[in-house]
Each structure stands twice: as C-alpha cells, then as structure tokens.
A and B are shown apart, each in its own frame.
Chain A
Amino acid sequence: MRPETEPLPVPLLREITTLLAKDFRLEWRQKSALGGLLLYVGSTVFVCFLSFSLRGGQPPAPAWNALLWVILLFAAINAVAKGFMQESPGQRLYYYTLVRPQAIILAKMLYNALLLMAVALLGLFLYTVFLGNPIQDAPLFVANLLLGAVGFATTLTLVSGIAAKAGGNGATLMAVLGFPVMVPMLLLLIKVSKNALDGLDRSVSDQSLLTLLALNMLVGALSYVLFPYLWRG
C-alpha cells in the first residue's frame, strides 16, 4: 500500500475502469486465449453429446445438471487461471507503482465476472442445442447461472493470485486450492438449478439464493481486504 502522505489524484473508480479496459484490450489482442477458451467449452459439450448419443439421446435431468456445472467449473478455472499468471513480475511491479492494489483486485474480479458470464451463457446455449433443454423455469435458471459465474469469478480471482505467487505448477495448484473452497457455492448453485430444472415454486429457492448472494459478498469483501497483503510481496 502507498504511504498515506502521498496524494492520490486519481479516484479508485477511474483506476478500475482503466484496468478493466486494459484487460479487455489485452484479451482482444491475444485472440488465441479467448478462442482457446471457447473451443474448450465447445469441444467438452460436443464430447458429452457424443457420449450420450451412444445411449440414445438426451441425458436424464440430474446428469444434465451435474455435467453442465462440471463443464462450467473447469472452464472457469481455465479462464481465471491465466489472469495473474500471464503477467510477468516486472509487469506487476509496474502496476504496483501506478495503482492501488484494491483497484487491481476489483478490476480483475469484474473482468473475470464479465468473462465468465459470457462463457456461461455461451456454454448454456451450446449445451441446450446439443443435449436438449429440460429447463422448466428458464429465468431462474439463467439468473442462477449468472450468479454462479460471478461467484466463480470472486472466489477464483484471489485463488489465482495466490497460485501465481507460488509459481511453478500454477494451474494444478489453483485446482487444489480452488475446488474445495468453491464447494459451498457449488452445492447451492446445483441445488437451485435443480429446482429451476424441475420448475419448483420460486419460494423454494429463496433461501439458497440469498445465501449465495451473501457468500459472494463475503468472498468479495475478503478478497478486497486480503489482496493488498498478497500484492505487497
């Protein structure tokens, strides 16, 4: 963190938007990374389609649900993993001198959330095209999906920062650190999406959705508080 005496002419929001624009620009320039991610989702869905077509068509609803979340989980790990890891130590030092660490973590979380929301929606689209659409309450399902994408982003952003610090086998370490931490969120997400699949009354999912929101906020706040310590090294 910067010493308090130094004036900070740029407000936090401006720093965040600048960093966000930088991330999008980088993503756009390195289209291979984005393309790889989309191809990853597409080919996984296609493999699922092929393996279920052996058994004659659409999977049963619980399998449909579980498979969708597994695909999204792995896509999210891959998408978020490259965020901090592709930056060199020199680059990090450069950002450190320019902006507040809070701006970096917030911008990264926002960017990952937007990216994962896009990936989740695209994944759902491909998935329903290939494996059928048993969803009975579509608005709730999509809302839950987006909430899940935001949750994945908030949780995995800090974890990817931690894994990047460890160096070496970053992606493996990220899976080891990230999966168990995400289980509470994942359990709630799968439960709500099962409710939406079966078209249960919305009031059944109320409490789980609220808990999900609270978990998201808790994780976001913790990342905001803890990231400056991680960044200092």
Chain B
Amino acid sequence: MTSAKIIGSVLGLVFTVAGVWGGQRLIEQRSPGLFWKALTVLLLVGGSAAGFLVSVPPLPIVNESIRNLFFHVPMWFSMIMVLLVSVWYSIQYLRNPSPRLDTLAHESAKTGIVLGLLGLATGSLWAKFTWGAWWTPDPRLNGAAVAMLIYGAYLVLRGSFRDDQQRARVSAIYNIFAFAAVVPLLFILPRLSGPSLHPGQTGNPGFSQYDLDDTMRKLFYPVVIGWILFAFWLTQVSSRYAFLQSKHDEN
C-alpha cells in the first residue's frame, strides 16, 4: 500500500464519521437551515446540468454514458451514508430507547432504500447501453439487489408488529444485523467473487484512470456532497412528517 492510498483511506474514514455526525445534526435540526438547503439545491441542479454539459474523455463503447458517474455513483455514496446514520440511530435506540430515535432510524432507512433503488435504476439504464442488457449476473449487481431485499425485509418486519415498543426494539436489532450483512455484500464479496464487468472492479478501469486532467473529479466530489446533503434533507422532511403524524394521532 502506498502512502497516497493510506492517506486516501484515512480521509475517507474521517469524511464518513463527520458525515454521520453532521447528518444527525442536520436531520434533527429545528431551524430552517436555509444555507445548507440552498447549497444542496445549487449542487444538485448545477451539478446535474454540468454533468450533462461538461466535456468528458471520448472513449469507445462507454462514449457519453460515462456521465453516469455524476448520477449513479453519488446515489450509492449517499445511500451508504444515510444507512450508516440509520444504524447509528438504532444503536442509540438500544442504549437509550425513545420513540423519537426509532422514527429517525426508520426514516433514514427509508431514504436509503429510495436512493438505493435510484442507484439500481441508473445502473441498469447504463448497463443497457454499454453492456447491452438491463441486468447481468454480475457480483456487484447481485450484491446491490440483495442489499435492497434485506432492507425490504426490514420494512416487512416493521409491519408485522402490533406493539410499538416491541417493533422499535426488534427492528433496531434487525437494522444493525442487516447493515452488518450489507457491508460484505457491497464491499467484500464483489472483490472476491471473480470476474465482474463493473467499472473499477477486478482490473476494470474506474474513472480515475481516464480522468487525466481532473475535470471529472472536480465535478464528481461536489455532486457527491450535494447528493448526501439531499439524503439528509429528505430524511429531515419525512421524519418531521412522521413526528407530526404521531402527535396528531395522540390527540
């Protein structure tokens, strides 16, 4: 491992921890938070527009579909981030149970599922135009699909309880358990299970090899941040709605 790789992993870890910590602050924020929401809109709208317009390296087969980097990859990044937030809420719930933490964990997981489905859809669209099929039995793709099944099971589990407290505790336990199963599915197994067509996998070049003049990178990182902020925003809105609903049901 070179020192650049070590620095990269440490930076990634710091970014993740800061993201989970900051994400919780943003989701639970009571003030309007105009600044970061304006930033999100700017990054998402501007990033998407730039994603279609910026010049990309001309490559055979991939052609213009390389622009999916600005849509597909940030969706997965933000899914992982918001699911991590959800797991952290579940851990907090087990240490110190309250209906509030349960709702926050549930809404974060739901946001993660939405982003995961978007990631599957954009990936599938991309695969149709570069690989010629909507779906292939690729380890990476299968891992992502099973991850979605696991979170589907989480929603089914939540639906099968009558007692609120019981539901909150048991689904927090399953949430932690499920995330521990998702991590090897998405990050360890695809590296072990042989040939994969997915970019950046088993010797396939990721975008970093093509992006010689760093133009894609300069757009990619802001878009990732935009999508992660968007995930937190979405969770904030849906959890506020859930809180209002439970308040309404009580009266």
**Which residues of chain A have a CB within 8 Å of any CB of chain B?**
158-159, 162, 165-166, 168-169, 173, 176-177, 179-181, 183-184, 187-188, 191, 207-208, 211, 215, 218-219, 222, 226, 229-230, 232-233
Contact assessment for A162 and B174 in the assembled complex, using a CB-CB cutoff below 8 Å: yes
Chain B interface residue count, Cβ-Cβ cutoff 8 angstroms: 29
Contact assessment for B184 and A184 in the assembled complex, using a CB-CB cutoff below 8 Å: yes
The 9 closest A-B pairs by CB, nearest first: A180-B149, A180-B150, A181-B181, A166-B160, A183-B146, A184-B184, A226-B173, A177-B153, A229-B94
Shortest beta-carbon distance from B191 to chain A in Å: 10
The B interface is mostly helix, strand or loop, or mixed, namely: helix
Shortest beta-carbon distance from A158 to chain B in Å: 6
CA distance A173 to B184 in the complex (A): 23
**Which residues of chain B have a CB within 8 Å of any CB of chain A?**
94, 139, 146, 149-150, 152-153, 156-157, 160-161, 165-166, 169-170, 172-174, 176-178, 180-181, 184-185, 188-189, 192-193
CA distance A215 to B192 in the complex (A): 14
Interfacial chain A residues near B156, Cβ < 8 Å: 173, 176-177
- Residue from B139, B153, B165, B193 within 8 A of A180 (CB atoms): B153
Interfacial chain A residues near B149, Cβ < 8 Å: 179-180
Q: Contacts A166-B160, A211-B192: A184 and B181 contacting too (C-beta < 8 A)?
A: yes
Interfacial chain A residues near B180, Cβ < 8 Å: 218-219, 222
CA distance A233 to B169 in the complex (A): 8
Contact assessment for B177 and A230 in the assembled complex, using a CB-CB cutoff below 8 Å: no
CA distance A176 to B152 in the complex (A): 9
The closest CB in chain B to the CB of A181 belongs to B181
Interfacial chain B residues near A168, Cβ < 8 Å: 160
CA distance A11 to B151 in the complex (A): 38
Q: Contacts A165-B170, A222-B176: A177 and B189 contacting too (C-beta < 8 A)?
A: no
Shortest beta-carbon distance from A46 to chain B in Å: 30
Contact assessment for B146 and A229 in the assembled complex, using a CB-CB cutoff below 8 Å: no
Most chain B Cβ neighbours within 10 Å, of A166, A207, A211, A230: A166
Interfacial chain A residues near B173, Cβ < 8 Å: 158, 162, 226, 229-230
Contact assessment for B177 and A180 in the assembled complex, using a CB-CB cutoff below 8 Å: no
Contact assessment for A181 and B188 in the assembled complex, using a CB-CB cutoff below 8 Å: no
CA distance A230 to B161 in the complex (A): 14
- Residue from B150, B166, B189 within 8 A of A188 (CB atoms): B189
CA distance A173 to B154 in the complex (A): 10
11 contacts between A and B (CB under 8 A): A176-B153, A177-B153, A180-B181, A184-B146, A187-B139, A187-B189, A188-B192, A211-B184, A211-B192, A218-B180, A226-B173
CA distance A162 to B165 in the complex (A): 14
The closest CB in chain A to the CB of B157 belongs to A177
CA distance A184 to B190 in the complex (A): 10
Interfacial chain A residues near B188, Cβ < 8 Å: 184, 211
CA distance A190 to B189 in the complex (A): 13
Contact assessment for A226 and B170 in the assembled complex, using a CB-CB cutoff below 8 Å: no
CA distance A222 to B174 in the complex (A): 11
Contact assessment for B160 and A158 in the assembled complex, using a CB-CB cutoff below 8 Å: no
CA distance A69 to B176 in the complex (A): 27
The closest CB in chain A to the CB of B154 belongs to A177
